[in-house]
Chain A
Amino acid sequence: MGEFEVHRVRFFGLVPAGVRCMAYQHNGRRLALARTDGAVEVYNFAANYYMEKAIPGHQTRSVEALCWAAGERLFGAGLSGDITEYDLERLRPARAVDGFGGPIWSMAANNDGTRLAIGCEDGSVKLFQVVPGGGVQFEKNLDRQKGRVLCLSWHPSGTHLAAGSIDFIRVLDVHSGRTAQRIMVNCHVPKSKKRECVVWSIAFLSSGTVISSDSFGRVQFWDWERGTLQDSHTVSSSAALSLAVSEKEDSIVVGTSAGATYQFQLLPVKAGGQEKRWVRTKPFQHHTHDVRAVVHTPTALISGGLDAQLVIRPLMEKVQKKGYDAALRKFTLPHRRLVSCARKARLLLFQFSQHLELWRLGSTNKTGKDGETLPLSRMPEHLLQLKSKGPEHIYCSCVSPCGSWIAYSTASRFHLYRVQHEGDSISVKKVPGVPKLLLPAYQLQCASDSGRLFIASDRGSVHVVQLLEPGGCKHLHTLRPPAGTREAVYLLASSADGNWLAAVSGDWEVHVYSLKHFKHHCTVPTYSCAVTALAIHPTTNNLFISYSDQQLFEFSIPEKQYTAWSRAVQNSGLHKLWLERDSPITHIAFNPKNTSQVLLHDVYMLCVLDKSLPCPQPLPDDSAVLVNQSTLKQLSEPARRRQLHAFKICKKFQPLLFADLLDERCLVTVERPALDISAQLPPPVQQKKFGT
């Protein structure tokens, strides 16, 4: 008989939205990514590509273009016709300015980030000044020609703009506002075969070369002054949708609708010679659907597709040393917890973009051997579906451990429901008189006795709300960090005895509050990486923190210092294989019976960390393997003892969205097989495959 009885949940029908556009900020090494549902995410490359910030989408607010301007300010523009500046501290759209040109298809910032150009449906290109305090101000209209402007690119000097439309490219003089050059893209196509040629993406190099990718699958290089074609490469039989240039302008990456990305490099024709030519070099096929957005960083090619994947393909020749950056990374699932679990009631709450689903876990009365699948005596039951009203998407949700309270928050509203279980029937009642709080809430957490609800809010504050029977609530207190911060709290953890609450704000500060006295207790020493998950041990009240660089810390709240185990781990260092894992740990749970066991999970593995066992020592030659449980099981007894280490890793459940311990014998895992996601996507571009 195995150690745990596992509820293997596969009925969470989450379909992540496709990637629409991306923008990379070189200085801060951050990638902003917009999804087709209007959600905007910010990935921090310095922190192991952790999804640092997420702004949920909005039904009417699609994002067609993103750009960073004026340092670290993020602007988005979409088909609603507005230019939106995002407040990355409060994680919501801050201001919106109407472009007055119909839907906006493209937006580009100049090199110094002082001006934004937008391309509109009506064929106009408008310039906006980035106002230092916040927002943008209309500056001028450039020459307008019929045909929507699908893509824009500034000349690095900022004097000219290249704009791609249907069938032609225009080069605009920014100063005079006139069209300096107009290039027809499909003049080489015979008239009989003429189809509409959509210029999907454009790039303007400092040498005066304009690179365009179009719906014929061509990547073309133009001399803008003469308007002549320099070079043309057909990369795909379907459209070439996206294009990005490296900072040194010696390499470009092109994404096509067949899911392939191609790299072009400017290479010398002869060694040591002056003549250089663009050569198509590496093809990559990581996506199954349209690659709508590509980014070229100095060391990697990043592509995002409609299959919701974000792929970071490092350029091996540019990576200095082997390490975390030298491996291919693929992100499909968000680095956020979308599942909350009512342990006592054995309920799971799934958070979708605009609704919540409450499920009761199935149960069995049989026992079996290790690895055996048990027959269900009661099927899992879909109890409830809560649809959020309005166009806004859900920020966060939570179910109380007893299963009788459900709370969720959108950008402007906070909802609390009382769920009554009467036998098999269930009734939901909205709790009236919810206190008016500063919204949105970024994280919700119920106390283990279901008596209190903690609401993470902006400026580092946490609201404590008392849940009252039979269906009411009362705002008790608002906890604020002593020094104050501008960043919102995005992670919460409360202790089982109800005395402590830990909160992490966007500046990665971990504050611990005493709930007895509603006052700040201590601050965990700052660490230079994002916190991905934290939890307080039910018996020892040790705070367990995992960071995005895969480090683990244990902090004793009563003693206000790191525990001895944590210091020992830091001294010896963690195993290389552990540190080079793909995805961050998104949830931490504890075994209530065995105090030394900690359950950690990321997308690809589940780990039971046994603090009583020695940590695997990282050897100087890095040859030691991090043996996982299934191989350990096959080893002989002495070898097993030798290989035994604290990290008991199980990779059976993949990709894992959530894992938690219901009790000391019972584990629940929520998986979302990649096949199920791709089955929900529209069929990809038909491609003939040899041998089929």
Chain B
Amino acid sequence: MHGARAVFSVGARFLLCASGDFVKMYSVATEELVQLLRGHSDLVTGVQLAPHNRLQTFTVGYQLLALYALPSSEDSVFVIIPKSGERDTFQLVSVKLTKAAGQDMEAKELSVVLEGVDASPKCTAFGREGEYVASVKDVNLQVYFFKQKQLNRFSLRATNKKGGNNVFTCVACHPQEDCIATGHADGKIRLWRNFNHKKEYTFSTLHWHHDKVLDLAFSLEGTSLLSGGVESVLVQWHCGSDCKRDFLPRLGSAIEYVSISSDGTFYCTSHTDNRITIINSNLRFSKTIQGLIKARDVKTGLVVDPRTKALVLNGEPGHLQFYCLQSDKQLYSLDIVQQEYIHQAGLNQSDLVRVAFSAQGKWLATVEEREETDLELQLKLWFFDEETQSFKLNTRISMPHEDHITAMCFRDTDEMEDDSLMLVTTGRDCVFKVWVILEDTDPEAQQSLSWSCDFVGSYHSYQATNCCFSEDGSLLAVSFEETVTVWDSSTWDLKCTFCHPPGKIRSICFGRLTCSKYLIGATDHGFLCCWNLLSCALEWSAHLNVVVLQPDPLSEHIAAVSWLFKESSLFVFKPNEARPICIQRKFCKERIQFAAFVPRDVPETIGSEKYLWLRRSQLFFLTDTQELMTVSTKSAQERLTLSSKQLAVEESLPVTPFSLLLGKHRHQQSQGDVDLGKIVHHHHEQDSPAVKELLHTPAHVLPSASFLCPIFINSLLVSKENKSTEETPDEVEMESEEAEDDSDEENSVTEMKQEDKMPLESLGETTHRLSKSEEKELRKIRKVDYSWISVF
């Protein structure tokens, strides 16, 4: 959700925002993703509604850096393009649009309007009725009047005596008056007037922001001005007065873009943490569309919430975000630190560093630390409250260790009783501590359960670095620098130690299911070791620089990600054999920080033996640049419908890592097994339509349950017969279902549904079949219909 201002559709029903290569259309009322507009092969840099056709949108991508459409000039748009032959100089050109219908337009007629403009779309704005264009760069403001063909330039001194920084950061034009608002690097906003005179121009100054003004927007009538900056406060200025202003504070993170719907009822702010906030015109917070929050530093790693299957990691400062991968939405954000975050450079503030869930997701343990002159540590234990459906703070332990906590894990027992629950923390203060629940017998006490320390273990005063419970919870492995110790979790006896010098243990884990007798460890000297717990001997070892070691909770597979020659490779193996099942070499140029297996809701049927390990859960990676990636078996078209893609994509990336991964992936597939991709594709097509149809049709238009049941069951049945024979009855069933629908009274709805399907197909495979204009028509109709439904 980056790179361009979000745009409200006419009627403020939908919000269009650029996200990577796509344009996402969200419903303003429900904040749901309504549609994904595809068509670009590169980052989308601008979205604009076509001023005359209310349902058209313009989008621009590669090499076009910003786009402006004016109601007064019907057949041309303005774009900022790099000046040919020169680097870092950009020009604003007007492009004549050809009347030809089609999604992509090749523009030939260019006429340069302004030279030397800033590449940022925020630095150019069109004035009242498109009579002039204002553009700022550095300390210069240029205003070009189209009618008079007059160019006025104004410049400010770069710095003033009081240490202000006059560099322009953004510009906005009053919709009805001759007034230009400019934002500056020192937080000032200047309102320019009379700028059609070269000398007698004048400006007034508004000052509230203490740092850069990041975006400005005038309200519909121009009576108020909105500004946003790093303070994450939306400021509304009234009538250009310095004294009258309203604030909407605590918007979470710096405001990158501000936009206003065409009827003025909604404002929308895009934030640096990959979020869009929709705000009512009375400055009341309305909705938020949250992608994966890009935290400053993910310290918690990727953790999966067993209850919601959501990915849990650092979000806003001091918060834990629960991110649902299936719906590509943030479920909620849990405030762990519970302190106001102050935006100020050089201020040390508490941050969340470790998170662990108990097996059923009933307990959550968090560690936060603040490092000033001495370390402040807090271990918090949260209990899931069924009534409020949220986590409630149960126990707060300050300074659980004397030094940084390096790892933390719960004993994964399936039993529901609390007394067997156990939490182990390891610290750099050379000990590991075991925490258990105590029941308070005092009836006066507010809560009956609380956590306290049960056992403190250490080994030769080495720093404890990792801990891990075996699957049945009977054994605890704790690594102390170069040594792995195994402890009996009931008696706390040291059972045995493993050591594979040289090199400190980077991560350890137990094998699962059939491989539970193995303990895997990775050292920072590039060895992956597997010890047999029964024989207490090294089973096998491999030379591999493993940075992430992640076991799948639902199978015996273990994923290891290595980092070699600036490229990451993935290895999936079972501990009982030294040979990996799947090797994915050099799938990513960035260092993988964390990985997590997320259980699938429905196990997928995967034909390829190579990807069998992905049947029950999906593997996600988080890279250094906080891109979330996954390993998938699906082919390109379907991948696009899956919405958990790169969310916190760096804007500068030329190619999204997803397509990168995909490309590599397919490339390798074609190398190794040519027809593999086809088979996968085939399989998927086979089993999906019936279920999809069932799930996606609104409930009130569905035929009776008794009618649907056999179809549904049929579709779920794993056929023992020949696949080709199964395919035909399925199709037949579908036909009959639609026929049934047709006989119903609600003809229009069914029609809609059919049409709903069509563009999906056409976009998916047969783009050539429909012309672009037809597609647009369809989309138009679809929009209308959706809205009609939402009335119900």
Partners in one complex: yes
11 A-B contacts (beta carbon < 8 Å) = A234-B241, A237-B243, A269-B178, A270-B128, A271-B131, A279-B193, A280-B241, A280-B242, A281-B193, A282-B202, A317-B201
Q: How far, in angstroms, from A385 to B199 measured CA to CA in the complex?
A: 56
A265 and B241 contact, Cβ closer than 8 Å, known pairs A270-B178, A271-B196, A690-B210: no
Contact A267 B193 (CB under 8 A): yes
Contact of A267 among B176, B199, B202, B241 (CB under 8 A): B202
List the B side residues contacting A269 at CB < 8 Å. Answer: 176-178
Q: How far, in angstroms, from A267 to B196 measured CA to CA in the complex?
A: 12
Tell me if A235 is interfacial: C-beta within 8 Å of chain B.
yes
A281 and B241 contact, Cβ closer than 8 Å, known pairs A267-B193, A271-B178: no
| Extra inter-chain contacts (8) besides given A265-B202, A279-B204, CB under 8 Å | A234-B244, A235-B243, A268-B178, A281-B202, A281-B203, A282-B202, A282-B205, A317-B201
Contact of A317 among B131, B193, B200 (CB under 8 A): B200
Tell me if B194 is interfacial: C-beta within 8 Å of chain A.
yes
Tell me if B240 is interfacial: C-beta within 8 Å of chain A.
yes
Return the CB mask of B179-206 against A: 1 if under 8 Å, else 0: 0000000000000011011011111110
CB nearest neighbor in A for B162:
A285
Tell me if A236 is interfacial: C-beta within 8 Å of chain B.
yes
Contact A267 B244 (CB under 8 A): no
Q: How far, in angstroms, from A597 to B554 measured CA to CA in the complex?
A: 100
CB nearest neighbor in B for A265:
B202
Tell me if A233 is interfacial: C-beta within 8 Å of chain B.
yes
List the A side residues contacting B199 at CB < 8 Å. Answer: 317
List the B side residues contacting A234 at CB < 8 Å. Answer: 241, 243-244
Residues A200-243 near B (CB distance < 8 A): 217, 233-237
Contact A279 B240 (CB under 8 A): yes
Tell me if A283 is interfacial: C-beta within 8 Å of chain B.
yes
A281 and B244 contact, Cβ closer than 8 Å, known pairs A267-B193, A270-B128: no
List the A side residues contacting B128 at CB < 8 Å. Answer: 270
CB nearest neighbor in A for B128:
A270
List the A side residues contacting B244 at CB < 8 Å. Answer: 234
List the B side residues contacting A318 at CB < 8 Å. Answer: 200
CB nearest neighbor in A for B209:
A690
A233 and B241 contact, Cβ closer than 8 Å, known pairs A269-B178, A270-B177: yes
A residues with a Cβ closer than 8 A to B are 217, 233-237, 263, 265, 267-271, 279-283, 317-318, 690-691
Residues B215-244 near A (CB distance < 8 A): 239-244
Q: How far, in angstroms, from A280 to B241 measured CA to CA in the complex?
A: 8
Q: How far, in angstroms, from A281 to B240 measured CA to CA in the complex?
A: 9
List the B side residues contacting A280 at CB < 8 Å. Answer: 204, 240-242
CB nearest neighbor in A for B193:
A267
Instruction: For residue A251, give the distance in angstroms from its CB to the closest CB of chain B.
Output: 9
Contact B178 A281 (CB under 8 A): no
CB nearest neighbor in B for A233:
B241
Instruction: For residue A282, give the distance in angstroms from its CB to the closest CB of chain B.
Output: 6
Residues B236-281 near A (CB distance < 8 A): 239-244
Instruction: For residue A249, give the distance in angstroms from its CB to the closest CB of chain B.
Output: 16
Instruction: For residue A689, give the distance in angstroms from its CB to the closest CB of chain B.
Output: 12
Minimum-distance CB pairs A-B, first 10:
A281-B202, A234-B243, A317-B200, A281-B204, A271-B196, A317-B199, A269-B177, A271-B178, A267-B193, A280-B204
CB nearest neighbor in A for B239:
A233
Contact of B243 among A236, A271, A317, A690 (CB under 8 A): A236
Instruction: For residue B227, give the distance in angstroms from its CB to the closest CB of chain A.
Output: 16
List the A side residues contacting B178 at CB < 8 Å. Answer: 268-271
Q: How far, in angstroms, from A236 to B243 measured CA to CA in the complex?
A: 7
Instruction: For residue B470, give the distance in angstroms from its CB to the closest CB of chain A.
Output: 56
List the A side residues contacting B200 at CB < 8 Å. Answer: 317-318
Instruction: For residue A284, give the distance in angstroms from its CB to the closest CB of chain B.
Output: 11
Q: How far, in angstroms, from A318 to B197 measured CA to CA in the complex?
A: 12
List the B side residues contacting A282 at CB < 8 Å. Answer: 202-205
Instruction: For residue A286, give the distance in angstroms from its CB to the closest CB of chain B.
Output: 12
CB nearest neighbor in B for A690:
B210
List the B side residues contacting A267 at CB < 8 Å. Answer: 193-194, 202
Q: How far, in angstroms, from A279 to B205 measured CA to CA in the complex?
A: 12
List the B side residues contacting A233 at CB < 8 Å. Answer: 239, 241
List the A side residues contacting B239 at CB < 8 Å. Answer: 233
List the B side residues contacting A235 at CB < 8 Å. Answer: 242-243
Q: How far, in angstroms, from A263 to B205 measured CA to CA in the complex?
A: 12
Which of A217, A270, A318: most chain B Cβ within 10 A?
A270
Q: How far, in angstroms, from A690 to B164 measured CA to CA in the complex?
A: 14
List the B side residues contacting A237 at CB < 8 Å. Answer: 243
List the A side residues contacting B243 at CB < 8 Å. Answer: 217, 234-237
Instruction: For residue A574, give the distance in angstroms from its CB to the closest CB of chain B.
Output: 28
Q: How far, in angstroms, from A281 to B242 measured CA to CA in the complex?
A: 11
List the A side residues contacting B194 at CB < 8 Å. Answer: 265, 267-268
Q: How far, in angstroms, from A268 to B178 measured CA to CA in the complex?
A: 8
Contact B210 A283 (CB under 8 A): no
Instruction: For residue B201, give the distance in angstroms from its CB to the closest CB of chain A.
Output: 7
CB nearest neighbor in A for B200:
A317
Q: How far, in angstroms, from A44 to B202 measured CA to CA in the complex?
A: 29
List the A side residues contacting B240 at CB < 8 Å. Answer: 279-280
Contact B205 A283 (CB under 8 A): yes
Q: How far, in angstroms, from A31 to B196 measured CA to CA in the complex?
A: 34
Q: How far, in angstroms, from A282 to B205 measured CA to CA in the complex?
A: 7
Which of A217, A267, A268: most chain B Cβ within 10 A?
A267
Q: How far, in angstroms, from A235 to B176 measured CA to CA in the complex?
A: 24
List the A side residues contacting B242 at CB < 8 Å. Answer: 235, 280, 283
Q: How far, in angstroms, from A267 to B239 measured CA to CA in the complex?
A: 15
Instruction: For residue B756, give the distance in angstroms from its CB to the closest CB of chain A.
Output: 47
